[in-house]
Amino acid sequence: MILVVLDHDGTKLRKGSLEALTRARQLAQALGEKVAGVLLAEAGAPLEEARGYVETLYVAELGPYTAEKWAAGVLEAAKGGVKAIVAPSSRQSRAYMGRVAYALKAGLLEDTLESWAEGGEVYAIRYAYLNRVTQKVKSPPPVALTVKPNTTPLAEPLGQGGEVVALQVPPVATVEVLERVQEEKKGVSLTEADVVVTGGRGMGSAEAFKRVEELAALLGGAVGATRAVVDAGWRPYGEQVGQTGKTVQPTLYIALGVSGAVQHLAGMNKSKYIVAVNKDPEAPIFKHADYGIVGDVHQVLPALIEAVKKLKD
């Protein structure tokens, strides 16, 4: 069996789940296995939608998410024996899949861009060294594999609803969730945006980000921030791009007053086009830029906004 974890937001499957499903089907075909899905939920779950994609769907309602409960749910679904467990990559999945991999003594293939099976083994391509190196790795089955977002075509439904099997997940109560701290969501989501406009310390103040927001809105994009900016309290942590923030891969990434530290590059160096504005011609960001302007962001940014407006008219 190839087991795929179908992640969702309570009402519908996340896009990443359909990418994971495509990978699971590819592995199943190459290894001569069947695909089953597992749908774990805090409360509600898109049961009808999910059973449209798999012949067998294991389901369990587990209350507030913890890595322990999700690992227990996945392991319960995998009890019949698995060649691979595939999940969309996220902070959460990369934690519970670590537990699952250990429990099954499985090869853990994290955040993969591609995967395939050949000669009975599972191969994958992934990034390492803060996104600077591309690795080709392999493991004999079983494997626990997470799928990097936006790397894989979305799976199509099967056309008929699969069988639903309720899981009896043994209770694990070692972590109690006390309080969720939600981030306010506005505009386009950073990780899904086609354009990201990031301000760095060079913006000089929280007020100056009004213009970053304006340019992002004009281009239909999202606002990003560097850690220096988040540490200064100018922008919320949810906007941070980099090693300890979010990884983005938009078509256009505009870095304003950003020096280009490796920890920042780790979150955006795979963007299709990178644009930098920095007053220091020696700033490392220029080495990673397709286009750039050496100049004062307080003069260049208003001019950029005007030039984009002119183009749109």
Partner 1 sequence: MKFIAVIRQVPDGESRLRIQENRVDLSSATLILDQMDEYGVEEALRLKEKHGGEAIVVGFGPERAEEALRTALAMGMDRGIHVVHEGYADPVTVAEALAPLIREESPTLVLTGGQQADWDSQALGAALAEALGVPVVPWTTAIELEGETARAKHDLDEGAEWVRVKLPAVFTTQQGLNEPRYPTLPGIMKAKKKEIQKVAFQGNSRVEILEEIIQEKARLQRILDGKDPVAAAEELVRLLHEEAKVI
Ligand X SMILES: Cc1cc2nc3c(=O)[nH]c(=O)nc-3n(C[C@H](O)[C@H](O)[C@H](O)COP(=O)(O)OP(=O)(O)OC[C@H]3O[C@@H](n4cnc5c(N)ncnc54)[C@H](O)[C@@H]3O)c2cc1C
Interface with ligand AMP (CB under 6 A): 114, 116, 136
Q: Is 130 in the site for ligand X (CB under 6 A)?
A: no
Nearest-angstrom CA–CA distance, 212 and 198 = 7
The amino acid sitting at 166 is A
Decide: 45 and 8 in contact? Cβ < 8 Å: yes
Residue from 8, 23, 51, 126 in contact with partner 1 (CB under 8 A): 126
In whole angstroms, how close is the CB of 274 to ligand AMP at the nearest point?
24
DSSP for 212-265, written as a single string: HHHHHHHTT-EEEE-HHHHHTTSS-GGGBBSTTSB----SEEEEES----HHHH
* Contacted entry of partner 1, ligand X, ligand AMP, none for residue 37, CB cut-off 5 to 8 Å set by kind: none
What residues between 164 and 223 interact with ligand X by CB under 6 A?
Answer: 200-202
Q: Which of residues 33-72 bind ligand X (CB under 6 A)?
A: none
CA 188, 189, 193 angle in degrees (round to 5)? 75
Nearest to 83 by CA among 20, 1, 139, 10: 1
Measured from the CB atom, is 47 or 138 closer to partner 1? Answer: 138
In DSSP terms, 14 is beta-bridged to none
Q: Which stretch binds ligand X (CB under 6 A): 3-11, 174-182, 213-221, 290-298?
A: 290-298
Residue closer to ligand X, measured from CB, 162 or 295: 295
The alpha carbon of residue 254 and the mean position of all alpha carbons in its chain are separated, in whole angstroms, by 20
Distance separating alpha carbons of residues 181 and 243, to the nearest angstrom: 21
Q: What whole-number distance in Å separates Cα of residue 192 and Cα of residue 238?
A: 13
Residue 9 near ligand X by CB under 6 A: no
Residue from 16, 149, 257, 292 that binds ligand X (CB under 6 A)?
257
Q: Which of residues 2-31 bind partner 1 (CB under 8 A)?
A: none
DSSP 159: S
Chosen from ligand AMP, ligand X, partner 1, none, partner binding at 228 (C-beta under 5 to 8 Å by type): ligand X
Residues in the chain: 313
- Contact pick of 76, 296, 305, 308 for ligand X (by CB under 6 A): 296
Q: Which is nearer to ligand AMP, 105 or 136 (CB)?
A: 136
Q: Which does 306 bind (CB under 5 to 8 A by kind): ligand AMP, ligand X, partner 1, none?
A: partner 1
- Phi and psi, residue 279, nearest 5°: -80, -15
Residue appearing with tokens 């920890």 = 263
Contact of residue 229 among ligand X, ligand AMP, partner 1, none (CB under 5-8 Å per partner type): ligand X
| Beta-carbon contacts of residue 303 (< 8 Å; ≥ 6 apart) | none
Q: What residues numbered 184-223 form the site for partner 1, per CB under 8 A?
A: 185, 195, 219
Contact footprint for ligand X (CB under 6 A)? 200-202, 226-229, 240-245, 257-259, 261, 263-264, 267, 277-280, 283, 296-298
